[in-house]
Structure 1
Amino acid sequence: LYTYEILNSYPHDPKAFTQGLEFFRDTLYESTGRRGASTLRKVDYQTGKVLTSVALDKQFFGEGLTVLNDTVYMLTWQSGTGFMFDAGTLRKLGSFEYGESEEGWGLANDGVRIFKSDGTQRIWTLDPGTLQETGFVETVTDNSVFNKANELEYVEGKLYANVWQKESMMIIDAKSGAIEGVVNFGGLKEKVGQHPDLDVFNGVAYHPGRNSFFVTGKNWDTLFEVRIFKKEG
């Protein structure tokens, strides 16, 4: 079991239905959901200012993202389609279709491969050149199967996965799928501005230069910089 310590709090767009969150060259990339309101954006994380934003076509429900080799890869939920964008300009470069994976939920990468969650117990690996699914692991503990991995972040051999509808995060071995830890983010939602559209905890990004994680939620007005550590006892 792990818990967290808040290091800093930053402004966040309370109208952003956050799906994906990732740092690339000190800029925060964020994808947002809902049909008719889905966007991909570059954000100054310290001020919350949206530097650049592009909207998806109205039929798509935006989901997770990852950035690799100056390309942003972004999923949509139930359309079976993902998109590629230029990381600098956010100009759309193309699209790709899913293979056997059921839906589009979260994305991450280890510098070579892309990892994709789809709302089941499987986390798929994708070839970034072809976007073909090359295999999968199943996320399991010593006595159960876990099928709620949502937004993903890869750090040093581990996948950090938001748990859909829970204020918690799983730490998953990227090679085996074994769940090695659970981070309890209980209490974080109470620290943001309360309003009728406030939704669930979602969004995790690791900043390698600061050696810290950044987390938020859907329609939250705050982005938290946190340190994760094991609970005592």
Structure 2
Amino acid sequence: MKHARCTWVGATLVCLLAAAACRNTPDTVPRLDIEVLATHRHDLGAFTQGLEIDGEVLYESTGMVGFSGIRTTDRGTGRELARSALPPPFFGEGITLAGDTLWQITWKEGVAFARDPRTLAERHRVSYPGEGWGLCTRDGQLVMSDGSARLTFRDPVTFAPTGSVALTSHTGARLNELECAQDGSVYANSWPTDEILRIDPETGRVLAVVDAAGLLPATERAQTDVLNGIAQIPGTDRFLVTGKYWPTVFEVRFVPA
């Protein structure tokens, strides 16, 4: 009788653990669609690596050696406010505004640039190991991706690593551009797909998968590169999304599929 009870308890525990694991498999993660609310023109020559919004200012970083840089534009008028180029061999990647510092990372060079957010002038540089892909700011810390299924947390002043978290599902994802949303979650472009993952950065759990396929007509998409670039419009549930060499920035809302 004692043995039978232990067997039942053990079987129950196994079932509970299996059920918990299944709840976080890719097949059971909620899926979201995109509702397009407006469209805006986008520079066809921009190999977009990062978007960031601060009030009425849109920051955009671009990649490719010899074409990398960062620019700011007025969201209302589209007027360019400032621009700064990254000289070769630097390949620009993600950006984020942390207090009075604008951070810009690079792909394989292992260098982060601290910039003045108004003039975009370089203040200083910091080295880091590995690759740099996406970057955003959340609760007083930087969140960075390196093309793996892991997020690294960094000090917003020194850029020193303070911790990391790995995805508990979608473990083969290659996280690219990041957006730290106002609800505390992190949205990440999953390279090279048309999916955006909504992630709980405290646990690494994927909360939802956004299907962004079909935003561009097939005739236009053939001339472009991958989906990349996401920024929440402050105080709203709307986001700007675009891609590398895309002709359009889409103003969207994520809705149940």
TM-score, length-normalised on structure 1? Answer: 0.92
Contact 1:11–1:46 (CA under 8 A) maintained in structure 2: no
Q: Determine the C-alpha separation between the residues in 2 that align with 1:188 and 1:48.
A: 22
1:174-189 alignment runs, 5 A limit: 174-189=201-216
RMSD across aligned positions (CA): 1.6
Please name the residue that 1:42 is paired with.
72
The SS at the match of 1:189 is: coil
Distance 1:9 1:169 in 2: 19
Q: 2:253 aligns with which of 221, 227, 233?
A: 227
Per the TM alignment, residue 139 of structure 1 is displaced from its structure 2 partner at its CA by: 1.4
Deviation at 1:32, TM superposition (A): 0.1
Change (3 A) 1:150 1:220: same
Deviation at 1:174?
A: 1.1
For 2:21, the equivalent position in structure 1 comes to: none
- The corresponding residue for 2:47 is 17
Q: Could you list the runs of 4 or more consecutive aligned residues of structure 1 that deviate by over 4 angstroms after TM superposition? A: 191-195
2:23 paired residue number:
none
1:153 aligned to which of 167, 176, 179: 179
1:207 equivalenced with 2:237 (yes/no): no
Q: Does 1:30 align with 2:60?
A: yes
Q: How many residues align?
A: 226
Residue type matched to 1:225 in 2?
Answer: E
- Aligned in 2, Cα 1:206/1:54: closer, same or farther, shift over 3 Å? same
Q: CA deviation at 1:189?
A: 2.5
Q: Rg: which structure is higher?
A: 2
Amino acid at match of 1:203: G
Spell out the pairing of 1:53-202 with structure 2 (5 A cutoff): 53-99=83-129, 102-141=130-169, 144-155=170-181, 156-190=183-217, 193=220, 196=223, 198-202=224-228
Q: Which amino acid aligns with 1:215?
A: V
Distance 1:71 1:94 in 2: 10
Identity across matched positions, percent: 40
Equivalent position amino acid for 1:61 in 2: F
Deviation at 1:91, TM superposition (A): 1.1
